Structure 1
């Protein structure tokens, strides 16, 4: 709990105090929003608004997590490192997209297929490490079963190791792409990305903390209802 509170406080402080510095730096480098001349006149006032704000969010999250773990004297878990891998990987895709827009002064950055290819690379890397890093109990950061509230019992590996592995990668790609694009599509000219991100990230934090409190090994009186999940508190912290 201390790591969760420390990470949240540090990330918040980092964002509040260093965002103005990032804005100044982005303005200096002319990394501003490009607005098409044939667009609505009300949008023209947004021309030059610093973009690439996701850099601040990712930096704040990563610094907050590692500082919180340091304060608590704990070692970062593979589950959290995988989340950081996904965040940074998708952040790089978004950075390239925004950089192309600002550098070439056009509203189109990466093409649709290029974005999907970047997200696919992140998904494959995530899947490789997620299923190749079991702990001492043999529990991997990701499950081979389709999960809703908990594992449903529908195991993709029942189709065989080859087909099952392909289906797992496709499933992970769908989840990563949907989460990333769900926030990205909601983004607009009025700072909607941070609002959408807070809702998405906040939901995962609540889920992670709930599963930690109801994790198998902690809940003795109702073992049938516990969650067999790897590093749930760390997922809430990050």
Structure 2
């Protein structure tokens, strides 16, 4: 696992400059919103869809290793890869439309949500064919069998997590860093449960994210786009499901939850009062408006991400 992980890191580090050049040549650049931060307007034209690197490289390495090593494609690992790649494809379609039209519209929200929902339903049926519909109450060890109500948990977990991770992708390096941090407790859960193939997936994607971050920290040379953020959201939801940490995911992804709540609170409050609680949402933009640099936002949010990951690890291990 360790050698494969470092191979993924090296491949991503070597492949990113080539991918950036290709994306530049295809003119698949970022289009910043007119109402966005003034400091972000200069990012228009920066290549997007960089998430392709940390999706494709770990998948190819894992698949090749499964032919010659103990890595295997069982129901759980298949679900994880389907979720990771499937949501990445939805994001790729959204990014492609934006890149071609040169505006920030992309897929219509209803169509995008419908595609996310269909994939969540598919994953649920694949999962319940071979696994229980139990959930574990974090910190108690109590198990509750939800039966078909488990479908609602899976549906909201996948649609909610993919959109929450997507909302965090607004500052250079923020989403990739938070996602890498969130993978650590799931890696440890997998080791504890002796699900070594799941642990291998966590480690390979973690190393791919480290390689990607080399080109994504401020000032970013490439953005992951919805290709990357939706894929990472689908990955985290799938890991939580196969490792029976569905509720723990809420804690591990505490920063993603806060980002989402900031948008919900802002929109709801504005509709009722025509006033804003935050200078701008998601909340990372609020702190940018307050004068924080992108690097300061990253380090503070990553620190909170690490804290939530530790708490989630503690709760999930009890």
TM-score tier after normalising by the smaller chain length: 0.7 to 0.9
2:120 equivalent in structure 1: 123
Counterpart in the other structure of 2:219:
none
Question: TM-score w.r.t. structure 2 length?
Answer: 0.58
When Rg is computed on C-alpha atoms for both structures, the one with the higher figure is 1
Taking a change above 3 Å as real, the CA distance of residues 50 and 106 of structure 1, as seen in their structure-2 partners, is: same
Equivalents in 2 of 1:185, 1:155: separation in Å? 32
DSSP 3-state at the match of 1:154: strand
Determine the structure 2 residue equivalent to 1:145: 134
Match of 1:17 in 2: 14
Matched with 2:27 is 30
1:182 aligns with 2:164: yes
- Tell me if 1:69 matches 2:58: no
**Correspondence for 1:219:** none
- State the distance in 1 between where 2:182 and 2:110 align: 24
Deviations 1:5-24, CA, capped at 9 Å, x for gaps: 23322221221111111111
Instruction: Pick which of 87-96 and 114-123 moved more.
Output: 114-123
The equivalent of 1:48 in structure 2 is 45
Aligned pairs for 1:80-95 within 5 A: 80-95=77-92
Q: Does 1:233 align with 2:196?
A: yes
Q: Secondary structure at the match of 1:108?
A: coil
Between stretches 187-196 and 80-89, larger displacement belongs to 187-196
Residue aligned with 1:48, SS: coil
Q: After superposition, what is the alpha-carbon deviation per residue over 1:182-222, rounded to whole angstroms, capped at 9, x for unaligned?
A: 3211101413232122122333222212221xxxxxxxxxx
Q: CA deviation at 1:115?
A: 2.5
Task: Return 5+ residue gaps in structure 1 as ranges.
Answer: 135-139, 158-163, 213-231
Quick check: which one's helix share is greater? 2
Q: CA distance change for structure 1 residues 130 and 36 in 2, over 3 Å: closer, same or farther?
A: closer
Q: In 2, are the aligned partners of 1:82 and 1:126 still within 8 Å (CA)? A: yes
Q: Which has the higher contact order (CA 8 A, sep 6+)?
A: 2
Distance 1:189 1:13 in 2: 25
Q: SS at 2:24's partner residue?
A: helix
Matching residue of 2:144: 154
Count of matched residue pairs = 200
Give the root-mean-square deviation of aligned CA atoms. 2.1
Alpha-carbon distance, 1:39 to partner: 3.8
Separation in structure 2 between the aligned mates of residue 148 and residue 6 of structure 1, nearest angstrom:
36
**In structure 2, the residue corresponding to 1:146 is in which secondary structure?**
strand
Distance of aligned partners of 1:110 and 1:90 in 2 relative to their CA distance in 1, 3 Å threshold: same
SS in 2 for 1:190: coil
Counterpart residue number, 2:247: none
Which deviates more, 66-75 or 107-116? 66-75
1:226 alignment partner in structure 2: none
> Contact 1:12–1:60 (CA<8 Å) still a contact in 2?
no
Distance 1:127 1:103 in 2: 33
CA distance in 2, matches of 1:153, 1:41: 50
